[in-house]
Structure 1
């Protein structure tokens, strides 16, 4: 046999749809990795993974029937143990060689080489390369063992005695090297060249493959199955777009990659059909209808050009009958009770105001150590009042207080009880129904924002205040009781809450001090210890540092700015821009190095007040530095106070020459105490002036 392409397919019962893509990729990737490790595939071998609801498969190019032999050098034992004084082999050496399949004749060919302090004997031999049958068996075993299976099931084999643990019962195994079957086995199955096609529409009861390269084509022709996940996904997307065009009016199927992936994992032969429901259901908020169609039925709602829901929707069926009316009618009958339930919940919920539900929050447990949702609501109100007062007028504080009081009331509605994903959104609808106005309604709807990376921020100031208060309360409360994230575990999504606070403070350039916000929030929790504020502040700055690095800022730039712990996060972007501009100046490396040197000197000094007595300046270089600082520091300070951080650092760049001259010509640690303290005071003054925008020493290499 020569180098040929390889195909392996495992035919199983329906796989978990949300895990299918990962299962397919892992199956192929581990298989190829193991084949390469065994020398049966090369770096040039190309993997094509396949995954459908009832099969995992992998096609690998350029697979050898047997791996090349390998030269192996094996350490035997120290020379002093293996050879006697006359240089003859000892019984221990002969026994070792015998175990390796050699005899005394091999002694002459043994190599001597240093091994630590002693010299050792090494035996060089050829190890025969793995055959494809043995190697593929090992590779398949490893691939199956390392599948990211969400939940294993146990099932019985045909013999009635043995059982197997796997994600789903397996019924067939295909292994072809070119046109030859590779004799391997897995999960109680012997490899062959046949599998099964579509459960209902396969052209043949058994699908047989002539060779490895005919897999996708044969399965499509005889089995009515599109084997490739990406190919099936693209076909579904094409059909969705075509069906929307046929409906007309500029409608488009809702964009949802997760839904498209899930539907791709549910069908083997996609067929998109158009359905509709009664227009009167459109009186229900479209978020409710869209959610029930997507989450419960896996349908694709159609939206008009303005983004409004229409009464048409698309269904991805797994069959292609000549007459699709039964499929269409069945799906329309199935969705109608779902929409009717949503309408019923909406109508019932509006019979009670949000205000009337607030008292019920005191009966809903939020956390066993943090009390009820009612107590939580009061804490959010307290934080919101403070933030509102700092940001605007009494009107903002009052509206924020009202929105915070009502923000969690929709948790007690029937609609949110059925669809928790709609919390906040339904509160906004019910607030408008209660006549509360858009300021409060938008704030209730938006106070969970941003929910995820890239999500929109709250639309108005009231929403910003309540969203900040809500996230601060969550972080402060959980940090106060020691529920900190660890590793990849973050059950309360505290990292997401911290990033939400960061985005609001930065992108809206809010004039709020982070430290004051943390102190205000923690003050509401008697459980908070002395170290909690530091822990929470560090946590937020760590999230900020990671976010800034993801945005393209260098680690040095981020460290330089955040080392000062700027309290107004809205200034951070301007500080980073200033540091980047400063780092590009020719004076920057020398000043950064000098800044680092000054910092080290001041750390070692007993005391160094930022104060200079001009009468004690003796050396020419220190007088020149003092004079330069008198000229540049006030100007840089004014620029800093005006928010011109770039200009401030560029002004300070003029100090490079006098700073260099100072360190070349002045002994800082003079024997006279008054001279030494004065020079330390000069350096402290310089250090203070240079590090208002960022810690420039972090730029030193």
Structure 2
């Protein structure tokens, strides 16, 4: 038996009906983490207590080490009132003090032990006491309630309890509560259940029912031995991965299961005792694009398709079963019979879709609403095609323009096919297959699939220049359209994934080093919305949004905030230049002159900001009075052509490095020259000299931000 004042390990399990598989891992982690944190906050578990989460289709459980039976008493300091209010002239307690003490469970006998301390304003009375530590039963009750309340439940259901009258709300009906401290049951209750040491194992293969857990530490072993359940989500997942690899090797020396961690998590959440089996289907179905077959097997059946070394689908697949019969042929045969109609449907859709060309489907897009403020998909396709045509012309025209326009017009046509109607995830992919069937050029077919890229962070870019053009046009049309109707992302809300679209535009422009000035590009995109009711072109806002996403992305890549601000604040129009500008800024920062020049640049900027109107970088050497301004001008005459020549050739590092020669004359200028002289002509000339200096120093980046 566990002594009441000693610590022991704790195990809590809530046994329920089948939990949502896609949410199980999060539910298990949240249950264990919240429960343990609650016990730690109550002083029942140390901060170093180890927490182990268990989650299977029918249970959420947590194991916490070193949990005390009773929390230690805690000292409590209670500020009462000023001495002048709490004690009368003779030092006796006033009625106000006695009333306050009574509210705290003390009486007049406590007056003598009150502590006096000055709080900075007056002498104040303090009452020091000990708060009795919570018992484990009290603390665990609150911890379980907190854990259940904090669960990220996708959808709550209401169900009736055994008494026939009461009802509770939870993700699934709960049937048992297990709570063991060492080998003792902790008396708690939740969801109409009282705690005990009983749980239940596998629905069909448990050796005994119920399964009795002797103590907290024997939970996983007992459940596996007597209940045929691997309680740990991580261990079950690893066992499935091991069996998948073994079964693939058995099916063929060169075969491997498709890699899909989300599918592996989902299957792990569907079984308690995994058993991987090999199934197969007729080879005739392999005539259907493998993306269709793979998707239907994964999404509908939770199977793992088997691929050869070239990544080509074979007619074999792996099933993760929840039972282990001696003869698995019936299970395998059942799964093969179930998947066959799914594959037959895919084949039917593919055969039917190819009876109509993509081009013949274009009129149908005029009947598909894209957005109630932006018109139909047909109207959108025309805008995308016009944008693609303009971009392609900028990049060379000719065959590129012809193919980009054709791909843009056909890019959304597969939305009207039966296959994409059944599997929306295949849009673009099926368009490529149907374009190939129609005899279109490979560049056009590839662009139809690739115009959705990059679809997520780290995704590949379109494989050809045609694909890049169409993908740019598609994403820019979406961005401009949504900004024009006021659908700008705010906070965490981004229903149209505009941040992802902006990052895609940035990557394509930068990684392909396209000679497309951003502002001119955006102005051309917004021009395509002329005539759309209620549309307001807002290229400045969209440009700021794109540069903001660019800055965030660069910081994520490891550039410092100062480096990013120095470059992005200048809003370089050619995004492909930015890596070179950042490299130049980093090299400049390492120079011994960098700090002084950055400070000087900031000083120059502040001076120019205070001047009304625009200061032209115009200088008359005949007006120089001080030797320092003559020297600075001479340095600029020598340095600026060198920096500009390097800038024009794209050598931004050399362009910035050349500025190092300005440090001495700049320092001397500020030490010996008064810019705001009384003589207007002298003052204007010196301001013009500073404007010339400022322009030279900020051509590659705003180096004042490197301070």
Q: Which secondary structure state, in structure 2, belongs to the residue aligned with residue 468 of structure 1?
A: helix
Q: Which residue of 2 aligns with 1:143?
A: 147
Q: Which residue of 2 aligns with 1:674?
A: 681
1:637-676 aligned within 5 A: 637-676=644-683
Q: Which secondary structure state, in structure 1, belongs to the residue aligned with residue 143 of structure 2?
A: helix
Q: Matched residues in 2 for 1:371 and 1:608: separation? A: 47
Deviation at 1:119, TM superposition (A): 3.2
Query: TM-score, normalized by length of structure 2?
Result: 0.98
Equivalent of 1:162, from 145, 161, 166? 166
Q: Which residue of 1 aligns with 2:331?
A: 327
Q: Which secondary structure state, in structure 1, belongs to the residue aligned with residue 291 of structure 2?
A: helix
Deviation at 1:656, TM superposition (A): 1.1
Deviation at 1:609, TM superposition (A): 1.3
Q: Matched residues in 1 for 2:189 and 2:528: separation? A: 64
Matched, 1:303 2:307: yes
Q: Matched residues in 1 for 2:687 and 2:124: separation? A: 63
Q: Is the 8 A contact 2:484 2:537 kept in 1?
A: no
Q: Matched residues in 2 for 1:495 and 1:639: separation? A: 35
Q: Matched residues in 2 for 1:153 and 1:538: separation? A: 45
Q: Matched residues in 2 for 1:315 and 1:617: separation? A: 87
Matched, 1:562 2:568: yes
Q: Which residue of 2 aligns with 1:425?
A: 429
Q: Which residue of 2 aligns with 1:690?
A: 697
Q: Is the 8 A contact 2:202 2:229 kept in 1?
A: yes
1:267-278 aligned within 5 A: 267-278=271-282
Deviation at 1:445, TM superposition (A): 1.1
Equivalent of 2:342, from 334, 338, 342? 338
Gaps of 5+ in 1: none
Q: Which residue of 2 aligns with 1:403?
A: 407
Equivalent of 1:74, from 78, 88, 92? 78
Q: Which residue of 1 aligns with 2:395?
A: 391
Ranges of 4+ aligned residues in structure 1 off by more than 6 Å? 528-531
Query: TM-score, normalized by length of structure 1?
Result: 0.98
Q: Matched residues in 2 for 1:304 and 1:543: separation? A: 40
Equivalent of 2:371, from 367, 370, 377? 367
Deviation at 1:583, TM superposition (A): 0.9
Q: Matched residues in 2 for 1:497 and 1:98: separation? A: 65
1:117-266 aligned within 5 A: 117-266=121-270
Q: Which residue of 1 aligns with 2:637?
A: 630
Q: Which secondary structure state, in structure 1, belongs to the residue aligned with residue 528 of structure 2?
A: coil
Q: Matched residues in 1 for 2:147 and 2:657: separation? A: 59
Matched, 1:535 2:557: no
Deviation at 1:115, TM superposition (A): 4.2
Q: Which secondary structure state, in structure 2, belongs to the residue aligned with residue 61 of structure 1?
A: strand
Q: Is the 8 A contact 1:479 1:528 kept in 2?
A: no
Q: Is the 8 A contact 1:20 1:265 kept in 2?
A: yes
1:286 and 1:531, CA in 2 relative to 1: closer, same or farther beyond 3 A?
A: closer
Deviation at 1:612, TM superposition (A): 1.1
Deviation at 1:270, TM superposition (A): 0.5
Q: Which residue of 1 aligns with 2:12?
A: 8
Q: Which secondary structure state, in structure 2, belongs to the residue aligned with residue 369 of structure 1?
A: coil
Deviation at 1:553, TM superposition (A): 0.7
Q: Is the 8 A contact 2:484 2:536 kept in 1?
A: no
Q: Which secondary structure state, in structure 1, belongs to the residue aligned with residue 373 of structure 2?
A: coil
Q: Deviations over 1:632-662 (max 9, x none)?
A: 1100100001000011111111211111111
Q: Which secondary structure state, in structure 2, belongs to the residue aligned with residue 280 of structure 1?
A: helix
Q: Matched residues in 2 for 1:182 and 1:125: separation? A: 29
Q: Which residue of 2 aligns with 1:575?
A: 581
Q: Matched residues in 2 for 1:370 and 1:219: separation? A: 58
Q: Is the 8 A contact 1:249 1:304 kept in 2?
A: no
Q: Which residue of 2 aligns with 1:349?
A: 353
Q: Which secondary structure state, in structure 2, belongs to the residue aligned with residue 225 of structure 1?
A: coil
Q: Which residue of 1 aligns with 2:29?
A: 25
CA RMSD of aligned residues (A): 1.1
Q: Which secondary structure state, in structure 2, belongs to the residue aligned with residue 87 of structure 1?
A: coil
Q: Which residue of 2 aligns with 1:552?
A: 558
Q: Which secondary structure state, in structure 2, belongs to the residue aligned with residue 523 of structure 1?
A: helix
Q: Deviations over 1:55-95 (max 9, x none)?
A: 00010111111111111111222323211222211122112
Matched, 1:101 2:105: yes
Q: Is the 8 A contact 2:384 2:477 kept in 1?
A: yes
Q: Which secondary structure state, in structure 1, belongs to the residue aligned with residue 529 of structure 2?
A: coil
Q: Matched residues in 2 for 1:116 and 1:225: separation? A: 63
Q: Which residue of 1 aligns with 2:41?
A: 37
Gaps of 5+ in 2: none
Q: Which secondary structure state, in structure 2, belongs to the residue aligned with residue 113 of structure 1?
A: strand
Matched, 1:490 2:494: yes
Q: Which secondary structure state, in structure 2, belongs to the residue aligned with residue 124 of structure 1?
A: strand
Q: Matched residues in 2 for 1:234 and 1:580: separation? A: 45
Deviation at 1:393, TM superposition (A): 2.5
Q: Is the 8 A contact 1:549 1:555 kept in 2?
A: yes
Deviation at 1:608, TM superposition (A): 2.2
Q: Matched residues in 1 for 2:472 and 2:104: separation? A: 71
Deviation at 1:101, TM superposition (A): 2.3
Q: Is the 8 A contact 2:529 2:535 kept in 1?
A: no
Q: Matched residues in 2 for 1:531 and 1:475: separation? A: 11
Q: Which secondary structure state, in structure 1, belongs to the residue aligned with residue 606 of structure 2?
A: helix
How many residue pairs get matched? 700
Q: Which residue of 2 aligns with 1:62?
A: 66
Q: Is the 8 A contact 2:485 2:536 kept in 1?
A: no
Q: Which secondary structure state, in structure 1, belongs to the residue aligned with residue 80 of structure 2?
A: strand
Q: Deviations over 1:269-325 (max 9, x none)?
A: 011000000000000000000000001111000111011000000010011111110
Q: Which secondary structure state, in structure 2, belongs to the residue aligned with residue 524 of structure 1?
A: helix
Q: Is the 8 A contact 2:82 2:124 kept in 1?
A: yes
Q: Matched residues in 1 for 2:386 and 2:397: separation? A: 16
